[in-house]
Structure 1
Amino acid sequence: MKWTIPNTLTALRLLAAPGVAIMFLYFNRPWADWFALILFVSAAVTDWFDGYLARLWKQESKFGAMLDPIADKAMVIIALLVVTGFSGMDPWILLPATVILFREIFIAGLREFLGDNAGTLKATKIAKYKTTAQMIALAVLFARGIFEHHLEIRIQGMNDEMIAAIFEGLVPDEVGLLWLYDGIQYSWYSGVALLWLAAALTLISGLDYFQKSLPYLKDEA
């Protein structure tokens, strides 16, 4: 195994996965949300760069091929746990998250069972699209936490009447409550929509892999 730049990027992405959760242990919100978002987006970008550089420089390796999907799944699963937890187990987040987690565990078990025949379950375009959709959805939902907690900070010291007057346009919005509230709404609805899209693509790709594995699951006559 050689520590090429593509392999190093993949390894760093794997290490970044638990780092997303650790941010919330050592920092207060919204700083934890900011650091988690920056770390998650930076790691997600390397998912494209490591494969591109490996092909460009002809540095594709078995180690990279093995580690890349593990890093992707670790990133998505840990980020899903964090987002689900901080959403208060909201069903709109919990249900697609459950679909995604179930599929990842099922396909991982299927690959292990197939052993030498696991090569039949190579990544498809749909699988790549679902990974992209998952990462974008999670990044948007992390952004919602940032808007939410900055809003909470700015309304500190205000009474309900003052807040209501700002939202009704009776008092100038000098602290930016309106755009923060809009940010919460847009990031929530777009993030949830993207997560459901990711769950649908995840389910479709999982069914595709299962169909391809059927010939190897039949008992010998």
Structure 2
Amino acid sequence: MSLANKVTLFRIILVPMILVLASLDSGATGLAGDWGQVAAVILIFIASASDGIDGYLARRYGISRLGKIMDPLADKLLIILIMVMDAGRFELTRVAPWMVACVVTRELIVQTLRVYAAECDRPLHSNFLGKAKTSSQMIAVVAVHLSLALRAFPPVPGTEGAYWDFFMSSDVPFTVAMLYLSVFLTILSGLVYLWQNRKIITEGDQQ
């Protein structure tokens, strides 16, 4: 197994660890009760960074067939499973079920098209929006869980008022904006992907 694939496998292993840590809640206040959120966001940062690392290694040393499958799988597992969990606590995360539905539907359609194209031995066209979509989703997930993790710490002296209340709110403008932007790019990239590969859909294996 190449070094890039080992990094990707490491990212996949991190996913269940993140889910377990992010779901921990002892009921206590402060770091004693929310240490799981802090640990989870640290692992999310590491997982997000590893995405860039394995991409760099793959470009430098060559992309393997296994890597072509594992890398997008790792991204989707990380993003979708965390968003599904977050949708169950909308009051804290602002991740709505319909957002998760958009992400899952897009990925199912695109993956189905990829399998069909492979069966028909037809090349697929990709676009930069796919990378932009994944990046925006990663940033949104990090922003959501960073907000949750910060609640474990006491307010900085002098910020106990409205500023701290705003910063600790689940409606932080940047977080909400990134969630909506990620969903928008998810839908847009899916539509563009379908349009670019429309001949495969209409013609199938006809050359």
How high is the TM-score relative to the length of structure 1?
0.77
What does the per-residue CA deviation read over 1:130-168, in whole Å, with 9 as the maximum and x for residues that have no partner?
1010000111101121234546xx8xxxxxxxxxxxxxx
- Establish whether residue 215 from structure 1 lines up as the match of residue 190 from structure 2: no
Shift of 1:200: 0.8
Given that 2:87 and 2:95 are in contact with CA atoms closer than 8 Å, whether structure 1 keeps it comes out as: no
- Establish whether residue 144 from structure 1 lines up as the match of residue 147 from structure 2: yes
Q: Distance in 2 between matches of 1:34 and 1:81?
A: 19
Task: Decide which structure has greater helix share.
Answer: 1
Larger radius of gyration, structure 1 or 2? 1
Number of residue pairs matched?
197
Q: Is the partner of 2:202 in helix, strand or coil?
A: coil
What does 1:44-193 correspond to in 2, within 5 Å?
44-56=48-60, 58-88=61-91, 93-116=96-119, 117=121, 119-122=123-126, 124-150=127-153, 177-178=160-161, 180-185=164-169, 188-193=172-177
Q: 2:44 aligns with which of 40, 47, 52?
A: 40
Distance 1:118 1:21, change over 3 A: farther
How high is the TM-score relative to the length of structure 2?
0.81
- Establish whether residue 204 from structure 1 lines up as the match of residue 188 from structure 2: yes
What does the per-residue CA deviation read over 1:71-96, in whole Å, with 9 as the maximum and x for residues that have no partner?
00000001111221222497763333
Aligned identity (percent) is 23
Structure 2 unaligned regions, length at least 5:
27-32
- Establish whether residue 15 from structure 1 lines up as the match of residue 13 from structure 2: yes
* RMSD, aligned α-carbons: 2.8
Given that 1:20 and 1:78 are in contact with CA atoms closer than 8 Å, whether structure 2 keeps it comes out as: no
Shift of 1:113: 2.5
